[in-house]
Structure 1
Amino acid sequence: MFVPNTTQDYGDNPIAVRETDTYVSEYVRGFVEKWDELIDWNQRAKSEGRFFIDVLKARGKKSVLDVATGTGFHSVQLLKAGFDVTSVDGSAEMLAKAFENGCNQGVVLKTIHADWRQLNRGVRGKFDAIICLGNSFTHLFDENDRRRALAEFYAALKHDGILILDQRNYDRILDEGFASKHKYYYCGDKVVAEPVHIDEGLARFEYSFPDGSRHNLNMFPLRKDYTRRLLREAGFQKLHSYGDFQEEGEETDPDFFIHVAEKSYGTN
């Protein structure tokens, strides 16, 4: 009988835990059940508006692979907007919650449990677009893992496919310290999310919930230019980055960057 983990365990030295596979054990049942308190689906839907829908529709995309489904927010939003969505996550706990959330929203998610580094073993077919959102790419600590995941994404896309990948503004956190407007991401107003340790190789965030519980995530602090370079070296031909859903320069101090990477040069 499967008994889910309910508590996190980083051992005696949490800031020494810097392995890609750690994320699987981080998303324990107790954390997953509270995750939507952090996101606040209604507020996030208002703040994002039609950004991702418009980016996809402007490029004529229909089939979407959501490789970081989490609790299902973007999969559900895109399904409701008429896209053909396949939902993937490396955490079985997250996928189970996403499926439950989908049912509560009146849609049925097509879910696949898969590791990005071996994505095409479990996911068949080619897609118009892949989305990797929620700062999820920072779960990969090893550069080889990042390159392998991007190669798998690239291979799962059609010849004119696009990848949409987001990340925190770690440049600001590393260089100036942490600050967040909580305007677009992690909109829950009763949850505190802030780093308890930061260096060039680790951003350890702690999430404090109204019931007094605390959970952590260890993530790799990706710098923006480094991420863009990896995308280009993975073979993506055209790259456009946004700051908090605004064109570069319009938002001078964004909490998040969103990269839209196109497999071909295209005409857009």
Structure 2
Amino acid sequence: MPSDAENSLLEYHPQQYGDDPTSIRDTDKYTDEYVRGFVEKWDELIDWDQRMESEGNFFIEELRKRGVRKVLDVATGTGFHSVRLIEAGFEVVSADGSPYMLAKAFENGRRRGHVLRTIQADWRWLNRDVTGRFDAVICLGNSFTHLFSDRDRRKALAEFYSALKHDGVLVIDQRNYDSILDHGFDSKHQYYYCGDQVSARPEHMDDGLARFCYQFPDGSTYHLNMFPLRKQYTIDLMRQVGFQRVDTYGDFQETYHEADPDFFVHVAEKCYHSLLPKDQRAPADAGHVDYDDEDVTDVGGEGVQR
């Protein structure tokens, strides 16, 4: 029999932000924002076919050239990247903090002939719920922006770092909040949120809150309260946690003008492997070690709480 919590999850109910929605600046709010009605419309916002065309094989190629085989998708959402990577031959574990997102991802995977390995997990305690070590951790779909405090962001990055093998790679993306904060919102609506009948625009912006409004063809409206991450701040955090090299792409391009991209993609490497001259690098498959949980203690200063 389903539990009361599971039954509640299946019910349709509106988002609740209270009398002052712009005062809600709390990491723990995000699971309540993804109500059933919003999640069921999420794929209209993404438009899988258009997104696949716009991003091409960027993520697949970045992972392949680093010899990645095993991937942890920590922001699975409705499963777009998990399914794409499975179909490209990667071994994928799919995690998300929203149980309804995971249910939708599993459904989408089955529809395409795949059985996703799904785990509900809070990034701040990721290694409590996800076992093993991975060649890559991916956190895509502007998801890192759901963390509202510096401590939560550092804690999550430390957990990502710990979940990686010693020469692993972390891939995180984010909106170009610098451009929105400094110059106003002007999206090409070409990458990520590709549904041509869906509006996704900021309703409120300040240095501590990006409140976006999502409007769908049937007239329904939903919101997300997110933290507007500055690009350099995100890069600095990854380096402070312990990632040795961070390369940033603008709308999947290596060169760009700072204000132009809609999204940035950060590719952060855990070890010095890529900093060596090519003739001194070990093969991509060499040196992988699977650590037991108790063996991994140095994760950038804060440690991992079990």
The normalised TM-score by structure 2 is: 0.86
Partner of 1:227: 234
CA contact (8 A) 1:90 1:113 kept: yes
User: What does residue 208 of structure 2 align with?
Assistant: 201
Report what 2:255 is aligned to. Answer: 248
| Structure label with greater radius of gyration | 2
Segment drifting more, 40-49 vs 251-260: 251-260
Figure out how many residues of one structure are paired with residues of the other and give that number.
268
Partner residue of 1:56? 63
CA distance in 1, matches of 2:8, 2:29: 19
Q: Which amino acid aligns with 1:9?
A: Q
1:60, distance to aligned residue in structure 2 (A): 0.4
Q: For residues 147-190 of structure 1, give each alpha carbon's deviation from its aligned partner in whole angstroms, at most 9, with x where no partner exists.
A: 00000000000000000000000000000000100111100000
The match for 2:273 is 266
1:24 and 2:31 matched: yes
Out of 78, 81, 84, the residue aligned to residue 85 of structure 2 is 78
Q: Is the 8 A contact 1:241 1:248 kept in 2?
A: no
1:75 partner amino acid? S
**Equivalent position amino acid for 2:186 in 1:** A
Structure 2 residue corresponding to 1:38, chosen from 45, 53, 62: 45
Are 2:126 and 1:119 aligned? yes
Aligned residues of 2:203 and 2:213 also touching (Cα < 8 A): yes
Give the match for residue 3 of structure 1: 8
Unaligned runs of 5+ in 1: none
Shift of 1:250: 6.8
Q: Does the 8 Å contact 2:179/2:259 carry over to 1?
A: no
Q: How far apart, in 1, do the equivalents of 2:262 and 2:272 lie?
A: 28
Deviation at 1:251, TM superposition (A): 7.8
Q: Secondary structure at the match of 1:32?
A: helix
Q: What does the per-residue CA deviation read over 1:94-115, in whole Å, with 9 as the maximum and x for residues that have no partner?
A: 0000000000111110000000
Runs ≥4 residues deviating over 6 A: none
Aligned-partner residue type, residue 209 of structure 1: F
Partner of 2:104: 97
Q: Distance in 2 between matches of 1:143 and 1:203?
A: 16
Distance 1:8 1:100 in 2: 23
Percent of aligned pairs with the same residue? 67
2:140 is matched with 133
> Hey, what's the Cα distance between the residues in 1 that align with 2:155 and 2:28?
14
In the alignment, structure 1 residue 87 sits paired with structure 2 residue 94: yes
